């Protein structure tokens, strides 16, 4: 566990030297900022036209949803390097011969990227705090907390998938595109057939869709199957990554 933490902090520091990480943070904050100001502007126009009270923009609309969407591209970009790069540079051999367990390597790599995104999310908290000052009697903190919890779980799952795929490939661009495809399938493609399938089959497909569960969390409802889904996906990613490293070890 200590080894995992050492790996995690090393990766975490690495991100602050990497242009990709800055681009990801820049895009997340820019998207959220633009949507926030735009929503406020549109609502302001309505206020001039009508006399009734206007519903304020929700935290889910201005921060959670756009960030979850950007994450489809940000997660592969942040994780593509994690193990592919070690392999390309030949440093993976060193890591594998060190007294480091395979799961510690994968978990540490994943934790580093996870902590980095958590840092970015902490910065986005400025938006709800500012929004709170413009809403009477304040924004619904429960809904905000549920939304952020959903986003954090989604992030954990995406990064775990990215970490696993990065351990499959030697080329970081291959891992980027493979991860992107997997995430797009899980976010979007998987529920395509739901419209033509019988209700139960459609429900089954929707329960495998990453967007379904975060939708209910953005509305302020935490579901047990949502929690289990994201945690299972995360553990599956970390597990497959560990197995892939193990296979490399005896190949």
In 3D space, the residue among 229, 235, 193, 234 whose CA is nearest the CA of residue 211 turns out to be 229
Q: Which helix (H) or strand (E) holds 113?
A: helix 102-124
Cα(58)–Cα(32) distance, integer angstroms: 12
Cα(161)–Cα(149) distance, integer angstroms: 19
* Binding-site member from 3, 5, 9, 29 for another protein (CB under 8 A): 29
Closest distance of CB 193 from another protein, Å: 13
Q: Is the dihedral of CA 6, 240, 161, 248 positive or negative?
A: positive
In the bound state with another protein, the residue whose beta carbon lies nearer, of 57 and 76, is 57
* Binding-site member from 3, 5, 40, 121 for another protein (CB under 8 A): 40
Does 30 interact with another protein (rule: CB under 8 A)?
yes
* Binding-site member from 43, 72, 184, 205 for another protein (CB under 8 A): 43
Closest distance of CB 130 from another protein, Å: 7
Q: Is 144:37 a contact under the CB 8 Å cutoff?
A: no
* Neighbour-count burial of 176, counting CB atoms closer than 10 A to its CB (0-12 exposed, 13-18 middle, 19+ buried): buried
Does 228 interact with another protein (rule: CB under 8 A)?
yes
In the bound state with another protein, the residue whose beta carbon lies nearer, of 2 and 131, is 131
Closest distance of CB 224 from another protein, Å: 4
Q: How far apart are the first and last CA of the chain?
A: 26
Contacts of another protein in 59-118 (CB under 8 A): none
In the bound state with another protein, the residue whose beta carbon lies nearer, of 99 and 195, is 195
Does 6 interact with another protein (rule: CB under 8 A)?
no
20 SS3 class: helix
Q: Is 62:131 a contact under the CB 8 Å cutoff?
A: yes
Closest distance of CB 111 from another protein, Å: 20
Does 215 interact with another protein (rule: CB under 8 A)?
yes
170 SS3 class: coil
Does 222 interact with another protein (rule: CB under 8 A)?
yes
In 3D space, the residue among 90, 238, 242, 99 whose CA is nearest the CA of residue 156 turns out to be 238
Does 16 interact with another protein (rule: CB under 8 A)?
yes
Q: Which residues of the chain form contacts with another protein (CB under 8 A)?
A: 16-17, 19, 22-23, 25-26, 29-30, 32-34, 36-37, 40-41, 43-44, 47, 53-57, 123, 126-127, 130, 134-143, 145-146, 195, 198-200, 207, 215-216, 219-225, 227-229, 232, 235-236, 239-240, 243, 246-247, 250
């Amino acid at each position: 566990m200590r080894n995992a933490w050492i790996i995690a902090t090393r990766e975490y520091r690495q991100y602050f030297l990497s242009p990709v990480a800055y681009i990801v943070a820049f895009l997340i904050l820019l998207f959220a900022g633009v949507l926030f100001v735009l929503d406020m502007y549109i609502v302001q126009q309505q206020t001039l036209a009508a006399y009734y009270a206007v519903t304020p923009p929700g935290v889910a609309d201005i921060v959670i949803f756009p960030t979850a969407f950007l994450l489809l591209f940000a997660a592969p970009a942040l994780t593509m390097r994690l193990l592919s790069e070690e392999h390309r540079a030949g440093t993976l051999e060193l890591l594998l011969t060190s007294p480091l367990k395979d799961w510690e390597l994968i978990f540490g790599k994943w934790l580093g990227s996870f902590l980095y995104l958590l840092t970015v999310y902490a910065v986005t908290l400025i938006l709800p705090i500012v929004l709170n000052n413009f809403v009477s009697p304040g924004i619904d903190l429960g809904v905000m907390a549920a939304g952020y919890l959903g986003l954090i779980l989604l992030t954990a799952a995406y990064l775990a998938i990215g970490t696993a795929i990065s351990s499959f490939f030697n080329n970081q661009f291959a891992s980027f595109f493979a991860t992107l495809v997997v995430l797009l399938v899980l976010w979007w493609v998987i529920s395509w057939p739901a419209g033509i399938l019988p209700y139960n089959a459609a429900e089954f497909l929707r329960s495998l869709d990453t967007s379904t569960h975060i939708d209910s969390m953005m509305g302020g409802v935490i579901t047990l199957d949502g929690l289990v889904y994201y945690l299972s996906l995360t553990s599956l990613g970390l597990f497959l990554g560990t197995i892939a490293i193990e296979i490399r070890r005896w190949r």
